[in-house]
Amino acid sequence: MTDLRGVRNLVVLSGAGVSTDSGIQDFRGPSGVWTLNPGAQKKATYEAFLSDPSLRESYWQSRRDHPVWQAEPNAAHLAVARLTGSDIDTVVVTQNTDGLHQRAGTPADRVVELHGTMHEVLCVDCGHRSPTASVLARSAGVPDCEHCGGILKTASTMFGQTMAPAVFARAERAVLSCDLVLAVGTTLTVEPAGSLAASAVRAGATLVIVNWDPTPYDGIATAIVRDPLGEALPRIAAEVLEGASSPRPRPALGPADLAADLLRGEVDPSRLAEVTPTFLLHLFEDTTPDEEVRALTVLSRAAADDPALRDCLRELLSVLPGLSPAAVAAAVSGDHPQPLADALTSLARNAALPADLLEAIPAGTTVLGEFPILLAESLVEAYEQRVDAYPATALPGLAAMLTELANRLTDAGRTAEAQEAADRAAKIRAGL
């Protein structure tokens, strides 16, 4: 375990895994809601909720049957509450909507609920809020707003909804001023919540990840704990509290001369053994696009024969997906594209990326492997999810993206799949 002495400002970044010992399923764990039922994630979109009355009916039934109403705080929640009750300035940034941190004794004003709460109901039309318990008590079916008759949902964020900017800003302020982030019970795959871990490390904080499964940010963590949360978090909390009065050691961020050489694209290859994911995270903190391309070109060339550096590149892009345009440019123009292609492909399998990134990849490009295909497939899926709610704009977009997918599949020599995508595009256009 890392040195946890001298912590003055602490952020606990908690996810669904914190509440599993309270009887509430997580989402992506071995027995998670979406692991056992992958289709459930697509049904959890805001657009689908608004457009499909049958989904609203099942949604409200799931609210009634949810284990949150019987759940009690567990040892992990209580450990966090002990930290918030100490002299350490502690903020709990949670992705959970169950309110169990507050019930365990953490003051409500110390909790930032990134994804809202299940304990309040919000009218999507007039914005009126009311307690969930009272809404469930007055309606056995799909309730509507008593004030305007509008659609009701719990005040928790669904896929497709924008996180409240003020809420995220408060979380970001906390991680940028803390000494230590404890990321507990979270896979750190939901953005922008996951990026808070990277922001903290770039600002000089120590990152400790306590989670059963790997996360995209493991490479920049100072320590990773795979023990059960109910055992690990009380132990870590005790260690933090015990060392609170000691001086805080500051980590070395890496040699400045190596960083400068990399950004110029001129570096002694023998020095690349000093490169770590944390060093790269700081390297790209304030860089120009040209510097990014130069550095990634050098790193990709060296990573061709260095598996450890290849892993560093993959972890770097998973933490900083904003480097993707530079990685694409470096791969297309460089002489050793494969490490960057592998890193980009890994990223595309685990994150949603912007459409303009696909536009930056020239037609006929093959050096990026599966990456353009994965990008096109993800954009096809995004249009498919919009078809029911916005057919007039989504159907032409879907046809165009299917054509793009067909072209990328053709580039990769996957002619049968390319023809299938092209046929789907033609059928949609014929029906417009």
CA–CA distance, 337 with 300 (Å, rounded to integer): 7
Task: Determine how many CB atoms are found less than 10 A away from the CB of residue 362.
Answer: 10
Tokens of 40: 């459930």
CA–CA distance, 146 with 259 (Å, rounded to integer): 60
Residue of 77, 101, 115, 336 with catalytic role:
115
In b/e form, how buried is each residue of 159-186, taking b as 16+ CB within 10 angstroms? eebebeeebbeebbebbebbbbbbbbbb
Tokens of 26: 């997580």
Residue 128 a catalytic site member: no
Which residues belong to the active site?
115
